[in-house]
């Protein structure tokens, strides 16, 4: 009574692994180096760092399975495309009123203060069903890195839950918050995955992005990212997660001391 999915998946995996070894004439020494490499990834991983996931990401596997999964589950063509979760999500980001900021205690003493001011942004939009009806009571969970490229849990100089917040949509399906235009930054590259990138002459950068999980009762939760079109890494993301429909344009914002830029983006959820 083996698991039917396992019985389907394993022969295919074994076939492709064998075909790969034959195609490249894999030697014992090379195979052992690969085993050691995967062991190193495992040893380095804990709840703050998932090196094995990072390894999958730099060969495009997380993006590929995300694409396969979302195609399988999609119920309409108009749904907002998904993107990978990435390793820095935290549950229980504070639920904040619409119109408030996910920038916590921005102090003029941090080295990236000037950039945070120059990149201050108002982000708003609606959460809609695929027929265009507004979804009231949807939760928009957003997070991004600081201008130094570090997420709050990677950086002791940032307050807890900095650049993270959840917002509940109103009657018109609208959410709104203050954040920053995101900047490009390297994925953690001080471990085996980073070493592999170097050996391949590849850079570790991701284009600036804001992460989102948008959820509502009766709808399939959407995990996605929005990419700033000013970013030079849009076309060369180290983890291959960019999709055209997720590239956005920030516009200059007039008359708002809290933000130099604004972004409007509607999320379209599928039934689920």
What residue ranges bind Fe ion (CB under 5 A)?
86
Identify the CA nearest to 79 among candidates 123, 131, 136.
131
Question: What does DSSP say about strands 222-228 and 209-215: parallel, antiparallel, or unpaired?
Answer: antiparallel
Q: Cα angle at 124 between 142 and 92, to 5 degrees? A: 25
Cα 197 vs. chain centroid, distance in angstroms?
20
Q: Is 74 exposed, middle or buried (0-12, 13-18, 19+ CB in 10 A)?
A: middle
- H or E stretch covering 102: none
CA atoms of 169 and 164, how far apart (whole Å): 16
- The least distance separating Fe ion from the CB of residue 118, rounded to whole angstroms, comes to 21
Instruction: Write the DSSP assignment of 195-224 as a string of letters.
Output: HHHHHTT---EE--EEEEEEE-TTB--EEE
Site for ligand DHB in 49-68 (CB under 6 A): 54, 57, 62
88 binds ligand DHB (CB under 6 A): yes
- The least distance separating ligand DHB from the CB of residue 63, rounded to whole angstroms, comes to 8
- The least distance separating ligand DHB from the CB of residue 51, rounded to whole angstroms, comes to 10
Chosen from Fe ion, ligand DHB, none, partner binding at 66 (C-beta under 5 to 8 Å by type): none
State the sign of the Cα–Cα–Cα–Cα dihedral 152, 175, 246, 133. positive
Residue number, nearest CB to ligand DHB: 86
Q: Cβ closer to ligand DHB: 205 or 219? A: 205
- The least distance separating Fe ion from the CB of residue 117, rounded to whole angstroms, comes to 22
User: Between 133 and 172, how does the x/- string for binding to ligand DHB read (CB under 6 A)?
Assistant: ----------------------------------------
Q: Can you tell me which of 93, 142, 180, 239 binds ligand DHB, judged by CB under 6 A?
A: 239
Spatial contact of 147 and 112, defined as CB atoms under 8 Å apart: yes
Identify the CA nearest to 94 among candidates 147, 48, 142.
142
206 binds ligand DHB (CB under 6 A): yes
Q: Cβ closer to ligand DHB: 129 or 223? A: 223
**With CB under 6 A, what is the number of residues at the site for ligand DHB?**
10
Q: Cβ closer to ligand DHB: 243 or 253? A: 243
Written as six digits, the tokens of 28 are 């014992």
Chosen from Fe ion, ligand DHB, none, partner binding at 54 (C-beta under 5 to 8 Å by type): ligand DHB
Chosen from ligand DHB, Fe ion, none, partner binding at 222 (C-beta under 5 to 8 Å by type): none
CA atoms of 52 and 41, how far apart (whole Å): 5
Candidates 69-77, 82-90, 174-182, 248-256: pick the segment binding ligand DHB (CB under 6 A).
82-90
Binding site for ligand DHB (CB under 6 A): 54, 57, 62, 84, 86-88, 187, 206, 239
């Amino acid at each position: 009574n083996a698991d039917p999915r396992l019985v389907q998946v394993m022969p295919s995996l074994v076939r492709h692994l064998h075909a790969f070894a034959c195609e490249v004439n894999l030697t014992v020494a090379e195979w052992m180096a690969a085993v050691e490499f995967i062991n190193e990834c495992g040893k380095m991983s804990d709840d703050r760092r998932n090196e094995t996931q990072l390894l999958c990401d730099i060969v495009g596997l997380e993006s590929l399975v995300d694409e396969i999964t979302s195609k399988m589950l999609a119920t309409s063509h108009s749904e907002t495309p998904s993107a990978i979760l990435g390793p820095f999500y935290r549950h229980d980001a504070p639920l904040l009123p619409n119109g408030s900021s996910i920038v916590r205690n921005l102090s003029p003493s941090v080295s990236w203060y000037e950039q945070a001011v120059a990149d201050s942004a108002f982000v708003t939009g609606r959460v809609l069903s695929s027929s265009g009806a507004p979804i009231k009571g949807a939760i928009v969970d957003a997070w991004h890195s600081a201008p130094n490229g570090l997420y709050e849990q990677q950086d002791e100089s940032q307050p807890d839950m900095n650049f993270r917040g959840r917002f509940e949509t109103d009657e018109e399906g609208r959410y709104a918050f203050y954040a920053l235009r995101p900047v490009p930054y390297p994925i953690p590259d001080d471990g085996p995955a980073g070493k592999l990138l170097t050996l391949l002459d590849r850079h570790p950068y991701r284009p600036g992005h804001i992460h989102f999980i948008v959820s509502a009762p009766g709808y399939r939760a959407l995990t996605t990212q929005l990419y700033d079109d000013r970013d030079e890494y849009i076309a060369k993301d180290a983890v291959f997660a960019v999709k055209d429909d997720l590239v956005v344009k920030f516009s200059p914002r007039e008359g708002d001391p809290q933000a130099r830029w604004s972004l409007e983006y509607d999320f379209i959820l599928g039934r689920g």
